[in-house]
Amino acid sequence: MTFWCARALIDGAPVDAVRVHAAPDGTIARLERGVPARAGDTVLGTVVPGMGDAHSHAFHRALRGRTQADGGDFWRWRERMYAAASALDPDLYYELTSAVFAEMLVSGWTAVGEFHYVHHRQDGRPYPDAHAMELAVAAAARDTGIRLTLLDTCYLRGGADRPLSDLQRRFGDGSAEAWLQRWSSLRDTLDTDARTLAGPGPAVTLGAAVHSVRAVPRSAMATILAGLPATVPLHIHLSEQPQENAECLAEYGLTPTGLLHELGALTPRLSVVHATHLTDDDVELLGTAGVTAVFCPTTEADLGDGIGPARRLADAGARLALGSDQNAVVDPFLETRGLEAGERLASGRRGRFSPPELTETLTRGGYASLGLGTGGLQVGAWLDLVELDTASVRTVGAGPDQLPLVATASDVRRVIVGGRIIASDGLLVSPAADPAVLLCAALHRIDDTIDRMNPVRLIPKERA
């Protein structure tokens, strides 16, 4: 298949009349610039490269619009999040995650890193099929068509000298050795299991994650680093909250970044998520190591986390990427503007990141974080494209290089993943589906399940 683009952003710069040739494996075989469309071409308007959501918790979507009225902080919000997690089983997890992935696709995200830690039954016992929850996420990606890096997460404790709580038990494997054993088995299963190979979407990439220095002690992290293949993308929540830093200093005498440095974890394959409360030494260590810092601006604002030092990290040598995290907002362009807006608010200056830098963060940064190659529009990269409406009330008159600063998900027209049109004008193409309808059904099932279980309610009865 060949796509002809009236205009394409290549390395952040607009190029007119671009023909993109698909290879059989869904990568870009050839690019032609300044050429007319030919018979048989799929004709597109203005396109940007595929955009990589480097950090998602799909089930957090169940909290959207349901936690705002009571105020509080991250820790209060987390109680509601655990209530949502307690409602999930493999079937419901598949249903909700499929709906969230569908919303991501029609919004312009073509790839996602699912930071996944809901592994077992509510009481912590494995499912009869030990990988039931992981395979539900993988099947959701394959069936909707999004490119998935499944970041299977190690989560062992509730904090320093604190075991997992009742609501956290299903996250844990008991030890780093047990987690590594399950991870290796999952890798083999994903390679062979027919359920994850039946859908139309691209193959699933298996990555790994350490939840945080709170949730995984130093000795366990050392075991994980020694046991994981060096090519596997590795992610970790880092310094999202001042309390995390204080607890790490009390336990180890080091900041979370300092602890990772001591363990030898700071390498280019590592992505640190949030990186909000960093010391100057932390910034230097992360930049020198060439890690990826994944910012989730809509979540960091929603939870009152703070504004991370994105510009300083980039200047120090870190790569930047973006994520939707709790999926309170699913819109790659709003995440992009949130990154730049945070820098402006913190510094009092405009234009802290140039439009090409922001496009790089949104596209290549996300793909690199997820172990998906270089990203962008170049030969050998995945043929993932997003067509934008340049004549909407939001985008009309904008320079093509500045579209990521004015567009929203509402301006996404067609979405191509692996050389196939996956979404068009807000709907999935094959099978045809409306993400809003999928979300409505999944959220009703979650509410019904929570009512039956009666843990912390997502919506207090007096306002339900």
Active site residues: 274, 325
State the Cα–Cα distance between residues 412 and 233, nearest whole angstrom: 29
Place of tokens 């494995």: 126
Give the torsion through C-alpha atoms of 224, 121, 65, 358, to 10 deg. 20
Determine the Cα angle at 94 with ends 89 and 100, to 5°.
120
Contact call for residues 414 and 378 (beta carbons, < 8 A): no
Q: Which residues pair with residue 388 across a beta bridge?
A: 46, 412
Contact 438, 445 (CB under 8 A): no
Contacts 24+ apart (CB under 8 A), 125-132: 127/90, 129/90, 130/182, 130/185, 131/182, 131/185, 131/186, 131/189, 132/90
β-sheet with 42-49: strand ranges across: 28-33, 13-22, 2-10, 42-49, 385-388, 412-417, 420-424, 427-428
Question: Percent helix, strand and coil across the chain, each rounded to 5?
Answer: 40, 20, 35
User: 111: which strand partners?
Assistant: 52, 147
Contact 74, 305 (CB under 8 A): yes
CA distance 9 to 18: 10
In single-letter form, the type of residue at position 415 comes to V
Helix (H, G, I), strand (E, B) or coil at 20: strand
Indicate the Cα dihedral angle 121, 125, 128, 133, nearest 10°: 40
Residue 186 has a CB neighbour count (10 Å cut-off) of: 21
* Structure tokens, 256: 């979370």
